[in-house]
Structure 1
């Protein structure tokens, strides 16, 4: 199989492992696993160009090394094409990699990818743009924005404190949203502090998806309540008890349109990347929209 490996040169985990020659380290690891590859090291702003060139080279598979945001760039370029996407998980959450079954340890991930075969999975869309795992607004977009603000700060205990600081800032900022939801043609009004749309359904423990080809969106609405109730909901999200929380409503759909009165732009956090999207937000499912390299 003709395989290209594209590495995000800014991925911290990659730099920690690869020292002065991350591309050489990855190339040698794949050769040792019996899968020769062509490795390309790209700066973040050049990854889309590297992906386009890999597709033009008629590579059968492109393995991307980075976090969920880097994977999202690859999904956008490879969706609907015959090229299979593989993932070297060099990010913080690595949501899609974990759900596909890619180990998080570097050597194990290389070995798994060297033996993996293409498999079709679903994609979701927001305003016709594909995403691989989740998209949220309200509290979810605010926590993503706050995480960007604290990213460069030197905090004790690293990312764990950063997550707590980000959540605190988000709770202070978030305001109740009066939303109109069109769910498969049925319109309803909700008042919420958070809304999350996921590609297929999540289950505990660890917020994983047992299926990536169910062909549905799952929508989670955090209804507006007191601050204490919001904190309880946040704790339930961490401990995987959120499906039993009466203030968090979940339902499945194939198409969902989200509108907010007098708002033409809405902050969203989609697969780890924050953006202002044009309202209304149109969510849909694209069944079997992406080929991925998955372990047997």
Structure 2
């Protein structure tokens, strides 16, 4: 057997609280089995707080592959359970932005994702870490956590990224820039900033933000939108969304294996859409942490 081949047995765990989860759980189960993946367990998890425990139980039962369906937050909230385990992480992108699937080159429709899990290959990738908590794709501080923490679930569920955009306009009225310090152990950089992205992959919010971040580079990328202007932050997102020539003019990037981030005032940190940490924080890369299923 090829060393990069995928298991033919798996446990399927879907967050049916995610944007597409409930509608697609039964379809996913049927399509996976029709594609030749034998499901030794299948769980539709309605309480997101139980998602990590369900994944932990599947890994403990020695499932050779655990397929998690949900948004980026669901994937980051469960990936800790696979670190150091002989278990492949399968991804069903059922969320709003699906940045991690974009990073891995997985199609965002159900058929493409099933094709990857059934006939793709195994790839060893890095994970990001914030104070010991693993994440798959990206974390941020500034305006994004304010949006993620307060956006109404129905707005996100039914309008997707458009809903996030509308809520961002509302939240920006009460948002203020902050003083940022980035320390890599050799030098400190100090600046005003409106948003900081901590990238293990190039995508965040479904938008390609950096061409220097990758899931097997062995480094984490810190990208700061510099200055105090809300308009500058809005234009940065616009320029990156439409891939304008000057899309990197409003940001500064730093690459390395470990950073200490401090802010004044303290800022909440959103990890793949879920607000679970605060500054100050230590940011690291965990090289080659897990195996994932990617297209062949």
* TM-score, length-scaled by structure 2: 0.86
Q: Is the 8 A contact 2:99 2:207 kept in 1?
A: no
Q: What secondary structure does 2:173 align onto? A: helix
Q: Is the 8 A contact 2:71 2:94 kept in 1?
A: yes
Separation in 2 of the partners of 1:89 and 1:57?
Answer: 24
Separation in 1 of the partners of 2:182 and 2:256?
Answer: 11
Counterpart for residue 12 of structure 1? 19
Counterpart for residue 129 of structure 1? 133
Q: Note the alpha carbon deviations across 1:15-67, whole angstroms, 9 max, x for none.
A: 234xxxx34x3332122112211322222222122111111111111001111
The Cα RMSD (Å) is 2.6
Q: Note the alpha carbon deviations across 1:207-239, whole angstroms, 9 max, x for none.
A: 177842011111111112434333322321322
| Count of aligned pairs | 284
Q: What secondary structure does 1:92 align onto? A: coil
Q: Is the 8 A contact 1:74 1:85 kept in 2?
A: no
Q: Note the alpha carbon deviations across 1:242-292, whole angstroms, 9 max, x for none.
A: 8644321122122111112464xx311111101342x32100111101111
Counterpart for residue 281 of structure 1? 281
Q: What secondary structure does 1:173 align onto? A: coil
Counterpart for residue 112 of structure 1? 116
Counterpart for residue 46 of structure 1? 50
* Cα drift, residue 187 of structure 1: 1.2
Counterpart for residue 181 of structure 2? 180
Q: 1:161 to 1:132 in 2, by over 3 A?
A: closer
Q: What secondary structure does 2:154 align onto? A: coil
Counterpart for residue 103 of structure 1? 107
Q: Does 1:140 align with 2:149?
A: no
Q: Is the 8 A contact 1:140 1:196 kept in 2?
A: no
Q: What secondary structure does 1:241 align onto? A: coil
Counterpart for residue 295 of structure 2? 295
* Cα drift, residue 184 of structure 1: 4.1
* Cα drift, residue 164 of structure 1: 2.5
Q: 1:36 aligns with which of 38, 49, 57?
A: 38
Separation in 2 of the partners of 1:111 and 1:185?
Answer: 45
- Range with greater deviation from structure 2 (244-253 or 126-135): 244-253
Separation in 2 of the partners of 1:30 and 1:213?
Answer: 27
Q: Is the 8 A contact 2:97 2:160 kept in 1?
A: no
| Uncovered stretches (5+) of structure 2, i.e. residues with no partner | 1-6
* Cα drift, residue 126 of structure 1: 0.4
Counterpart for residue 84 of structure 1? 88
- Range with greater deviation from structure 2 (126-135 or 95-104): 95-104
Q: What secondary structure does 2:77 align onto? A: helix
Q: What secondary structure does 2:125 align onto? A: strand
* Cα drift, residue 84 of structure 1: 0.9
Counterpart for residue 243 of structure 2? 240
Separation in 1 of the partners of 2:19 and 2:147?
Answer: 21
Instruction: Give matches, 1:205-224, under 5 Å.
Output: 206-207=207-208, 211-224=214-227
Q: Is the 8 A contact 1:121 1:289 kept in 2?
A: yes
Structure 1 outlier segments of 4+, above 4 Å: 200-203
Separation in 1 of the partners of 2:183 and 2:78?
Answer: 30
* TM-score, length-scaled by structure 1: 0.86
Counterpart for residue 63 of structure 2? 59
Separation in 2 of the partners of 1:55 and 1:131?
Answer: 18
- Range with greater deviation from structure 2 (279-288 or 228-237): 228-237
Q: Is the 8 A contact 1:144 1:272 kept in 2?
A: yes
